[in-house]
Structure 1
């Protein structure tokens, strides 16, 4: 995930008073895996699908 997108995700979570764990639950992945995606440690095809889902959920 590009760094600016990671910042956007964190910013949206803060604005919505939503935890990363809650977002992970909505996406259907573990909190650890979500953290890896947000921090750019996972970027394969499956992670890209999750990124799109995250973007839809947070409207970013």
Structure 2
């Protein structure tokens, strides 16, 4: 999974993320941290960002 994501351009990467979560703030925050070395790092960052968002995000 992470290998396929690493090969994506920024727009495609954001497009893949938005299918997981429709919160643009979440996608934007993860996009700023891209690339991730491992799937575990991606999942940890996804959780960290998710819990840092406001309910309105």
Provide the TM-score with structure 1 as the length reference.
Answer: 0.36
Q: Counting helix residues as a fraction of each chain, which structure ranks higher?
A: 1
